[in-house]
Structure 1
Amino acid sequence: MGLLFVELLPRHGDGGGPASAVLKCRRCRVDAASADAILSRDFRGRFGRAYLFDHVVNISLGPNEDRYLMTGLHTVKDIYCSCCQQILGWRYEKAYEESEKYKEGKFILEKARMWKEAR
């Protein structure tokens, strides 16, 4: 087994500005996304509320899978914590409805799988 590369999110408060919260994997506490980067809080996942992001870190991707979600058919990939392999959410690969195309390439992180650390 090789070395594991873990990306740490920048500490915005270090330069004198306000510190932003970081969402981390609930199981192993590795950084996943900045709370400031949430695009929408109006999503639902398998375990309840979920957040939409453009960018997340320290994840690995599962295979493509077609799923019928609340907004129709989508091709998605599950995303896993790169440290502990806990499922954290999914990435939208393809949306079949024109009104849902904005989700393509974006990530869903499930609130129940996240731990929020204020910095």
Structure 2
Amino acid sequence: MGRLHLSYLDGRMYTCKYCYTHLALVDDIISKTFHCNNGKAYLFNKAVNVSLGEKAERMMTTGLHTVADLFCIACGSIVGWKYEVAPDRIQKYKEGKYILVMRKVVDFDRTNFGGGNESQAGASDADDAGY
């Protein structure tokens, strides 16, 4: 898979914190209420310039999910995960969607989103993968 550049698109984007490879557009955010061991995480409809790790079952706050780690294709950093399977009917909306960990990304003007240790209630998922 080649590297996809989003710079020609209108709108703010998120890039890898380490190499500034484009990962997602702000317009593709579904939810900002997720949380992991490293703080805030956002749920996206799609992500680009990522490769998927092996599928694994992980117990999250909202139950057992099958997920795959997301790696930046340019530098190999783990930047989040993709929800593959959510067995609980209420959680099915997550299937095929992407989580980007805000401490692992920056916005288009290279502002790091991973600043504080805020925690939010709601549709959060915590994990033990060390994101």
Give the corresponding residue for 1:31. Answer: 22
The residue identity in structure 2 corresponding to 1:60 is S
Deviation, 1:45, is 2.1
Sequence identity percentage: 39
Deviation, 1:88, is 0.5
Greater helix proportion = 1
SS in 2 for 1:112: helix
Query: For the aligned residues, what is the CA RMSD?
Result: 1.2
Deviation, 1:32, is 0.2
Greater strand proportion = 1
TM-score normalised to structure 1 length = 0.87
* Gap runs ≥5 in structure 2: 110-131
* Gap runs ≥5 in structure 1: 13-19
State how far apart, in whole Å, the 1-side matches of 2:72 and 2:86 are.
24
Task: Please list every run of at least 4 consecutive aligned residues from structure 1 whose deviation after the TM superposition is greater than 3 angstroms.
Answer: none
Which one has a bigger Cα radius of gyration?
A: 1
Deviation, 1:11, is 2.5
TM-score normalised to structure 2 length = 0.79
Task: Report the more deviating stretch, 101-110 or 41-50.
Answer: 41-50
1:45, 1:89 within 8 Å by CA — same for their partners in 2?
Answer: no
1:24, 1:31 within 8 Å by CA — same for their partners in 2?
Answer: yes
Deviation, 1:37, is 1.3
Give the corresponding residue for 1:11. Answer: 9
1:110 aligns with 2:101: yes
Give the corresponding residue for 2:57. Answer: 66
SS in 2 for 1:8: coil
